[in-house]
Amino acid sequence: MIVRPIPRHIHANLLALLLLIIVSLHAKGASYHFLPINATFDSIAKELVRIDYDNERQSVDPALLDRLDRIAAETGNKQLKARAAYWRIRMTQMTAQPLKCIEQLEEARKLITDERYDYDRACISYQLAGNYERMDDFLKCYQLLGEAIPVFQKYGDHYFLGNAYLLMGQLFLDINDPHAAAEQIELSRKSYQQARYPLNRIYFFQAMVNSSNDATGQDDEKSISLYKKSIATGGKDWGMTLQAIANISSIFLKQQKPDSAQVYCNQGYELLRQKAPDNPLFYTLLATNHVRVLYQQQKYEEALQVLQTLEPFTPVLKGERMMSDIYEYLWKVYDKLGQQQQAYKYLCLYKEEHERHEAEMRKNDIPKAQAREAIARQEDQIKLLEKDAQLNRNYLYVAILVALVILILAVAIYFYYRQRVRMHHAENRELQKSLEQETLIYNMNLKNFENDIKQKNCEISSSTLLLANKNEVLQQLNDITKKFSDEGKIPREYVYQVNKVIGDSLHNDDEWSRFKLHFDSVHPDFFLKLKERSADLTENDLRLCAYIRIGMRAKQIAEMLSVTPDSINTARYRLRKKFALQKGENLDDFIRQV
């Protein structure tokens, strides 16, 4: 006989319930993130946080919950009313019906309208998400977790953030998307590590994802290893530990190893006896596994005794998938014991219950598919919005960069013209001084005359270099505007106007005329002497000779004339030919001697 493993969806509601009873706690103790309102109320709430942390919810004193209700009613504070409802549902979650919880939590959420209490709303949203997940309203669960997670991030509540990601992972497992579930579980792991909290839940859900991806059961050992890690690190989290124990037992049953499965059944019974001896759901979970073990061992009488212990729980288990398992093994055990009438009775009940669950599963397949599609659309929309936001940020950065470039250029131009004005004033002052002392400098010796010529050469060089720098800046501006125009970031009409102004400035012959005039005043007959040496010299040749005469290098001349250094070298070669210079004669020395 083949014993099928316990399907994951059988205990999905139980897992969601376990995740709901987790509170926001730090590894070294409970953390109270709620904004203080009433000292007495807050002290009770902190005690409930501790009880939740210690997994002692089943022993909570109902008087504490009643006292919270009274304080909220006496103060008339709607925030306290919402918190009182939240804590009552939280402490009684294990025995409450999800529909009733949803109704009360929705009413509590409506009371929170003040933005200061966003943490309260996030906690209620998380609690609601778990209950909607239990009701298979996957899209609503996803939306509520989407509201809660950013708030937990805001408050640095890494433990509760880990729980929210874990519930999201459970959601994706339920809608058959193990890849997305694994991503959420990884986020949960990182949050738990930041909170320095044990990773037993992470190991548990990693095993669940592994089982979902391993339909053939070839990787059962990995799942068992992960479940064992969960048990070893579970600490006070006995509910998750019981689940891990039950799942290991199921894997051994699937492998036809009833003795190994029995060991874990016994371990589960002992843990349940210590922590929650009266819990019907966990007892049924372990008992059904125990029945499978006994059935494989052909201990039919003992299996029947265990099944009969589940009879008192029938009202609680009504509608649960576990009832189908109970009816199945009652039918099989009675059949083995030869009690055909009883076997037929439970066969009919099993068939009815099985068909009902199969119909529910087929019915739920459509909402699961719809939820996957809706969630995928929402995630795509979020990614698109994030991409648009990043694009807008990039545009802003480019705009800032352009503004900075323009500002730098403006400052450079300002200082350039300011320097020119200062030089002009200095020249005027020097000229005035020269005129006043004209009679004195008339008899200056040759050395003073040469020094004056040298000074004038420096002035010409300085003016020319500044002009070359201006041309370089204008050329850079021309390149920048062309680049942004090619990328479509600024209008072409703007580029055309800017480049026209730059081009006019770069090819302005007035500057050459002024330079030539100034140069002639310092080096009279220079151009005439050059023409006498070679009548073929063009205006550009004369211009190049003048720049060489004042000591400019090829690169500086290229920047001045807005050409490449190679073009200057070519022009120098032509000059050598026009002057008929021999090999070994230096062009620069020749020009300086003219």
- pLDDT, average across residues 590-594: 86
Residue the block writes with tokens 């040759």: 446
The lowest-confidence range among 9-23, 198-212, 521-535 is 9-23
How many angstroms from the chain centroid is the CA of residue 220?
A: 34
Tell me what the pLDDT averaged over the chain comes to: 82
pLDDT digits (tens, 9 = 90+) for 100-145: 999 999 999 999 999 999 999 999 999 999 999 888 888 899 999 9
What pLDDT sits at residue 460? Answer: 62
Whether residue 139 contacts residue 178, with contact meaning beta carbons closer than 8 Å, is answered with: no
Distance CA 461, CA 549 (A): 10
What pLDDT sits at residue 347? Answer: 92
Task: Supply the DSSP symbol for 490.
Answer: S
pLDDT digits (tens, 9 = 90+) for 537-572: 998 888 889 888 888 888 888 877 778 889 999 999
Residue 243 structure tokens: 């689940």
Whether residue 89 contacts residue 105, with contact meaning beta carbons closer than 8 Å, is answered with: yes
In which band, very low, low, confident or very high, does the pLDDT at 447 lie, cut at 50, 70 and 90? low
Portion of the chain with pLDDT greater than 90, in percent: 36
Whether residue 8 contacts residue 173, with contact meaning beta carbons closer than 8 Å, is answered with: yes
Prediction pTM value: 0.58
What pLDDT sits at residue 1? Answer: 29
Q: Helix 78-91 crosses helix 39-53 at what angle (to 10 degrees)?
A: 20
Q: Quick check: 352 pLDDT over 60?
A: yes
Distance CA 69, CA 85 (A): 8
Contacts of residues 383-392 at CB distance under 8 Å and 24 or more positions apart, as own/partner, are none
pLDDT digits (tens, 9 = 90+) for 473-517: 666 777 787 777 777 777 767 766 777 767 666 555 567 777 787
In which band, very low, low, confident or very high, does the pLDDT at 363 lie, cut at 50, 70 and 90? low
Contacts of residues 512-518 at CB distance under 8 Å and 24 or more positions apart, as own/partner, are 512/543, 515/460, 515/463, 515/464, 515/546, 516/543, 516/546, 518/460, 518/463
Q: Quick check: 16 pLDDT over 80?
A: no
Whether residue 519 contacts residue 546, with contact meaning beta carbons closer than 8 Å, is answered with: yes
What pLDDT sits at residue 463? Answer: 62
Label each residue of 59-127 as H, E or C: HCCHHHHHHHHHHHHHHCCHHHHHHHHHHHHHHCHHHCCHHHHHHHHHHHHHHCCCHHHHHHHHHHHHH
How far the first Cα of the chain sits from its last, in Å, is 116
Distance CA 253, CA 321 (A): 19
pLDDT digits (tens, 9 = 90+) for 417-435: 888 888 888 887 887 787 7
Q: Quick check: 458 pLDDT over 80?
A: no
Q: Quick check: 326 pLDDT over 70?
A: yes
Residue the block writes with tokens 């083995």: 336
pLDDT digits (tens, 9 = 90+) for 73-111: 999 999 999 999 999 998 887 677 888 999 999 999 999
Distance CA 380, CA 117 (A): 30
Q: What angle do CA 298, 303, 306 make, to 5 degrees?
A: 165
Distance CA 364, CA 359 (A): 9
Q: Quick check: 368 pLDDT over 50?
A: yes
Helix (H, G, I), strand (E, B) or coil at 37: coil
Residue the block writes with tokens 């019974």: 269
